[in-house]
């Protein structure tokens, strides 16, 4: 069966299924399901003239022999030239961050930030949601497709689960303040690089300092590792209260727990997350 044999509703259903699986980035201008196989890396680099000739030859040969051929990769000099397209990451100086004295000013500073490629590929800055004066501040990992579109953290399926989790201990978004480790969505929801995390972590620390929460709830392994400066996994970090200084000399009780997106993939772990929420409720009592 080809795409021409499907109805409009069936095509939309297929597209919805692909998006649900995470295929939300196009790598070509047209469908190639009826064309000879071409390796993905041929789309990810700019081959030389010789490489283009090899690619055409590979396509023709695959028609004759029904065996995919690998295109010749770019030369090292071409790869280096491509890598130089992105500007270098410029880490903020301590006095620059200290000069930011309000959450509004921090948002403006991020909007004006140069040198972070994530900003160029994202649709919106995802800064915060909830009540800036709340006793509890929640820090997630990175925005997803829905968050990038709306410009708010935790608005997709994981966000809906977070709302239910908070409701289970008598809280809602008006009683918490929410942000993420990264304020921009990585392309295709890829894992952020160590350099990107290192660049943006000081802004998150300043965010915590300005919000002045009484308690901090960190959701997810990447945010927990970055803020605590550890390589331990989230299953080892969760469930334990720690007094953490985020750079302003004040220690804040901090609890790590499982990210709602992880719970959607591993529902059997919800019990551990609920135990953490009960621990938070006991602190708030």
Candidates 165, 210, 115; CA nearest to 179 is: 210
Going by C-alpha positions, the residue among 80, 74, 82, 26 that lies closest to residue 54 is 74
- Candidates 136, 150, 145, 284; CA nearest to 219 is 136
Question: Checking DSSP bridges between strand 215-219 and strand 136-140, what pairing results, if any?
Answer: parallel
Report helix, strand or coil for 229.
coil
Distance between CA atoms of residues 80 and 242, nearest Å: 44
- Topology (CATH) of 94-284: Uracil-DNA Glycosylase, subunit E (3.40.470)
pLDDT tens, the chain, 285 aa long: 555 666 777 677 666 656 554 555 555 555 544 444 444 444 444 444 444 444 445 444 444 444 444 444 444 444 333 333 344 455 565 788 999 999 999 999 999 999 899 999 999 999 999 999 999 999 999 999 999 999 999 999 999 999 999 999 999 999 999 999 999 999 999 988 999 999 999 999 999 999 999 999 999 999 999 999 999 999 999 999 999 999 999 999 999 999 999 999 999 999 999 999 999 999 999
**Separation of first and last alpha carbons in the chain:** 61
Look up residue 191 and give its DSSP letter: P
Residue with tokens 């921009």: 184
Measured CA distances, 258 to 60, 178, 255 (Å)? 50, 15, 10
For residues 283 and 277, give the distance between their C-alpha atoms in angstroms, rounded to a whole number: 10
Helix-then-strand count for the chain, H and E:
14, 6
Q: Encoding tokens for residue 282? A: 């006991």
For the chain, the structural domain boundaries read 94-284
């Amino acid at each position: 069966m080809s795409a021409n044999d499907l109805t409009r509703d069936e095509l939309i259903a297929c597209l919805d299924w692909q998006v649900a699986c995470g295929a939300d980035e196009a790598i070509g201008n047209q469908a190639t399901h009826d064309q000879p196989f071409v390796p993905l890396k041929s789309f990810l680099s700019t081959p030389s003239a010789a490489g283009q000739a090899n690619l055409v030859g590979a396509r023709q040969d695959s028609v004759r022999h029904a065996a995919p051929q690998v295109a010749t990769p770019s030369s090292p000099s071409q790869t280096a030239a491509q890598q130089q397209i992105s500007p270098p990451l410029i880490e903020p100086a301590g006095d620059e961050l200290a000069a930011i004295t309000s959450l509004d000013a921090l948002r403006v500073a991020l909007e004006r930030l140069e040198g972070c490629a994530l900003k160029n590929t994202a649709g919106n800055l995802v800064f915060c949601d909830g009540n800036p004066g709340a006793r509890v501040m929640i820090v997630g990992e990175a925005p997803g497709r829905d968050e990038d579109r709306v410009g708010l953290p935790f608005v997709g399926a994981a966000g809906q689960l977070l709302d239910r989790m908070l409701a289970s201990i008598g809280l809602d978004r008006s009683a918490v303040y929410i942000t993420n480790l990264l304020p921009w969505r990585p392309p295709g929801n890829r894992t952020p690089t160590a350099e990107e995390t290192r660049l943006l972590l000081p802004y998150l620390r300043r965010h915590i300092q300005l919000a002045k929460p009484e308690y901090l709830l960190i959701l997810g392994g990447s945010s927990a590792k970055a803020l605590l400066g550890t390589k331990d996994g989230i299953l080892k970090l969760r469930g334990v209260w720690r007094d953490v200084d985020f750079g302003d000399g004040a220690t804040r009780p901090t609890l790590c727990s499982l990210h709602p997106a992880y719970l959607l993939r591993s529902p059997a772990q919800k019990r551990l997350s609920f135990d953490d929420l009960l621990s938070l409720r006991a602190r708030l009592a």
